[in-house]
Amino acid sequence: MKKILIASNHLQTGDGVCRILISFANMLVETGKYDVTITFMLRFDKSLLQMFDKRIKIRRAFPFPCFKGYDRLMSFLPGRYLYNRVARKEKYDLEIGFCWRNPTIAISSSTNKDARHIIYTHGSNPGREYYVKNDAMIAISSESLKKYSKDIDNQIPIYRFSNIFDEQLIFKQADESPLFSKKDGRFLFVTVGRLTIEKGLDRMMNAAQKLYEEGYDFDIWHVGEGKDRKLLEDFIKDHHLEEKVTLLGNQPNPYPYMKQADCLVCASQTEGYSTACVESCILEVPFISTAVSGAQDIVDESKAGKVFPNTEEGIYQGMKYVLDHKDELLSWKSNLKKTKTSFYKEGRKKALLEILDKIESM
């Protein structure tokens, strides 16, 4: 049985990368081929432990909990030291940096010459000096594949793999009773993610306000928490939107809320490959997205969404388009009854194992 070390930043509710990590690690263990250890460096939500296969070893890189400024402090630590904290002198066959910054730096500084080293990218980050020290990279969208191939001048192999999703877990959790229920007859937009500027909620609120002024009637739910909550709360209050916009906060299980949506919105300034958009497709909920990495890939595969410019005006046009073309929205929902299976675990598992086999045999 091959031993795999996965280094990640966070194990926290509301983190799309964490939801992908859960499905990724569980799938590896289920094959019976891999013994998996996950080492995380920053924030930790113990409630997530129940979602991991019990055979997976999960541990902190550092013995003390995350505090304000912890991430910045860690950025000054040498890469070799970070690697020693995540590996703890154990020998692994595969070592994976599952996201940017500290996990990437740690694995790129590995002293284990017998292992294969992989960087699993979830965005577009300028880490060429670290990437080229590894044996391979995994890029999660066609756009990021092109970008990284150019950035590293094809010095190491890059494979495209658009994440793995456990549809059975999503279906099971989506059937749980929600704390909030959609109002009868009201059109509902749902967004999922951190309450931070890069997720574009400020732009979406401005776009929504314009649509309200034009006479459109709809509700917005946002699932997630973050440092910019106060800014959004003030906007909602100042524009008297308390009856129309609801910040649901962190929800350990976002799926009962996503399932109720008429349309999911990805308003982000930047994404690697939107976890929420794929999860909405699995739940047969169409989506619209700004032109971020991976968005067009998901539209092409699902036939159930549309991409708009990555601007406030683009978000406005996207929401307006959906409200003005509800027949097309129904057509997208119908398409998802067939296309959603392309995101299921079994098909993607085969593709991922083929990639790992190629890297192991290098």
- With b for 16 or more beta-carbon neighbours within 10 A and e for fewer, the 2-31 pattern comes to eebbbbbbbbbbbbbbbbbbbbbbbbbbee
Distance, CA of 223 to CA of 149 (rounded, Å): 34
DSSP 189-204: EEEES-SSGGGTHHHH
- Residue 256: its pLDDT value, please? 97
- Residue 66: its pLDDT value, please? 78
User: 105: which DSSP letter?
Assistant: H
- Residue 315: its pLDDT value, please? 98
- Residue 252: its pLDDT value, please? 85
Whether residue 100 sits in one domain with residue 151 = yes
Burial of residue 253 (CB within 10 Å: 0-12, 13-18, 19+) is middle
pLDDT digits (tens), the chain, 362 positions: 999 999 999 888 777 889 899 999 999 999 999 999 999 998 888 888 999 999 999 999 998 777 788 878 888 899 999 999 999 999 999 999 999 999 999 999 999 999 999 999 887 788 899 999 999 999 999 999 999 999 999 899 999 998 999 999 999 999 999 988 999 999 999 999 989 888 999 999 999 999 999 999 999 999 999 899 999 999 999 999 999 999 999 898 999 999 999 999 999 999 989 999 999 999 999 999 999 999 999 999 999 999 999 999 999 999 999 999 999 999 999 999 999 999 999 989 999 999 999 999 99
231-235, long-range: CB within 8 Å, 24+ apart, which pairs?
231/202, 232/195, 232/201, 232/202, 232/205, 235/202, 235/205
Whether residue 184 sits in one domain with residue 157 = no
- Residue 351: its pLDDT value, please? 93
- Residue 124: its pLDDT value, please? 77
- Residue 170: its pLDDT value, please? 95
Number of compact structural domains in the chain: 2
- Residue 198: its pLDDT value, please? 87
Q: Which residues contact 48 (CB under 8 A, 6 or more apart)?
A: 11, 12, 13, 18, 22, 252
Whether residue 156 sits in one domain with residue 178 = no
**Strand residues in the chain grouped as ranges (E):** 2-8, 34-40, 57-60, 94-97, 116-120, 136-139, 158-160, 188-192, 219-223, 245-249, 263-266, 287-290, 305-308
Q: How many residues does the chain have?
A: 362
Distance, CA of 85 to CA of 111 (rounded, Å): 12
- Residue 102: its pLDDT value, please? 93
Are the CB atoms for 359 and 135 separated by under 8 Å? yes
Whether residue 70 sits in one domain with residue 150 = yes
Whether residue 121 sits in one domain with residue 246 = no
Residue 155 structural domain: 2-165+344-360
Four-point Cα dihedral 208, 210, 214, 217, nearest 10 = 10
- Residue 128: its pLDDT value, please? 92
Quote the pTM value: 0.88
Q: How large is the C-alpha radius of gyration of the chain?
A: 21
Give the relative orientation of helices 275-282 and 295-302 as an angle to the nearest 10 degrees.
Answer: 10
CATH of the domain at 187: 3.40.50.2000
- Residue 108: its pLDDT value, please? 97
Whether residue 237 sits in one domain with residue 193 = yes
Whether residue 330 sits in one domain with residue 300 = yes
- Residue 339: its pLDDT value, please? 98
Whether residue 213 sits in one domain with residue 233 = yes
Distance, CA of 288 to CA of 207 (rounded, Å): 14
Whether residue 181 sits in one domain with residue 77 = no
Whether residue 157 sits in one domain with residue 9 = yes
- Residue 45: its pLDDT value, please? 87
- Residue 59: its pLDDT value, please? 95
- With b for 16 or more beta-carbon neighbours within 10 A and e for fewer, the 87-126 pattern comes to beeeebbbbbbbbbbbbbbbbbbbebeebbbbbbbbbbbe
Whether residue 180 sits in one domain with residue 105 = no
Whether residue 140 sits in one domain with residue 43 = yes
